Amino acid sequence: MLRRSAVTAGFALTLTLVATPAIAHTGPGGSSAPESLYAQAKAQAAATTQTDPGMIDALSRDLGITGEQAKARLVNEAAAAKVESVFTRQLADDFAGLWLAGPTADLIVATSDSTRVADILKAGAQAKLVKHSLAALDAAKARLDELAGSAPKSIPSWYVDVQNNSVVVLARDTAEAQEFVNGSGLDASLLRVEASTEDPKPFYDVRGGDAYYMGGRCSVGFSVTKAGSQGGFVTAGHCGRVGTATQGYNRVAQGTFRGSSFPGNDYAWVEVNSQWTPTGVVNAYNSGILPVRGSTQRAVGSSICRSGSTTGYHCGTISQHNTSVTYPEGTITGVTRTTVCAEPGDSGGSYISGDQAQGVTSGGSGNCSSGGTTYHQPVNEILSAYGLTLAGGSTPPTGCSGYQNTYNGSLTSNQNAYQPSTSGYTAAAGTQRICLDGPNGTDYDAYLQRLSGSTWTTVAQGTSPNPDEAFTYNGTAGTYRIRVHAYSGSGSYTLGLTRP
């Protein structure tokens, strides 16, 4: 296989962000964090962030900010995405989340340890001291997810709210919700019940950039490619089941649903026929045609825009990640909550921040006249679940979040590492999901190996000429391990693994 050179401009900066202990704890006699961490990230983002006039106009219109503020915001959002994994790793158990605030998206990092405030400030971010770590909040939400089957129908959603350091439970009947919360066995200080009029439903008659039809109407999320396939697009799972045929916006035969999950998740992918060519763009209607260059997840508070066939192109901000929302059909976990409006006919459509794909429209409340709340299924999870790649872009699984286990390490060029150890781990029969997040500007690969007798055999792999890989393997029970290989370049990596 031909491999391209991994040398890129800005490599030294990227390596500094990833490999340097940029937020090392300042204890007695210890080292302090570099003051320029976030400033360096912003400088790199300013040099690489590309803006489109239509996007700037839409952000100005829907967020009530100036064009200059919109441009500054996009740079700051890209910089925050670069440093989020550094704060997460370095603050470790003391990390309580981060978010963006204000017209130009100022970075705020929270910690549950007062001795880490100085480190955050030296790294160039605003600091907030809170009671609970993000790990504690995520664990509390996970407990509510386990109890989803017994949750009252008057609860439309719950989510981790890093800005207010709590797990919020929205409810049309707060007394009923409080009874549910009290019975969860969780520390009451972790949870907050809020009154809500939301009554979310999937947007069945939908489209996400361009419309497609399958008995009803839904929206294309993002074009994708897949080895051995014509490629196609990702969309909402509630729009169709495996085998459902689709027609394009022009009613010409288009493709077939090859994968679909709903409820629990709300994602699907459609393989198109040879009459259709996947392209890495989003139709933003009056704002023009926007390029898609990757799928780096943006932080809470970042701007985000949605394209759909009913209401066109609208913008808002990211409210919370890792949200659970309950529809009449069941509870969906792991979605992102936003302030972007949507209406029936927008389901499955594109959510994009700058030029980075974020997710596909799942459902929500309200409309684009009075405003509303919407939820999107993160696109990286869909790509990983079905072994897809964004058309015309890459799929960097930044931080490999949302996986059952994560492992960290560091490699030099042409070096190997085995995770979680050389002796491997035991997995039951079923699907394994593997994610590798390597340093920018390098070429890191991952190989899933199965033990057969005394020999390790590679059964699946991710070997693109990029730093990041994401793939799945459906196999029998056995002993497995993952070989991480630095094909070129050096630095720290994160490996994500979910096994049955």
Number of Cβ within 10 Å of residue 456's Cβ equals 18
Distance in angstroms (rounded) separating the CA atoms of residues 310 and 425: 48
CA atoms in the 13 A half-sphere facing the CB of 137? 30
The answer to whether 303 and 73 have CB atoms below 8 angstroms apart is yes
Backbone angles phi, psi at 77, to 5 degrees: -65, -40
Q: Do the strands 356-367 and 371-378 form a parallel or antiparallel pair, or are they unpaired?
A: antiparallel
From 365, 339, 333, 336, select the one nearest 196 (Cα to Cα).
365
Number of Cβ within 10 Å of residue 294's Cβ equals 18
Rounded CA Rg of the chain: 22
Q: Residue 435: left (phi > 0), alpha (psi -120 to 50), or beta?
A: beta
The answer to whether 197 and 365 have CB atoms below 8 angstroms apart is yes
Task: Write the DSSP assignment of 203-251 as a string of letters.
Answer: --S-BSSSEEESSSEEE--EEEE-TTS--EEEE-GGG--TT-EEE-TTS
Task: Write the DSSP assignment of 437-498 as a string of letters.
Answer: EPPTTSEEEEEEEEEETTEEEEEEEE--SSSEEEEEEEE-SEEEEEEEEEEE--EEEEEEEE
Distance in angstroms (rounded) separating the CA atoms of residues 341 and 235: 18
From 152, 189, 190, select the one nearest 174 (Cα to Cα).
152
Amino acid at 34: P
Residues 6 or more apart in contact with residue 139 via CB below 8 angstroms: none
The catalytic residues are: 238, 266, 347
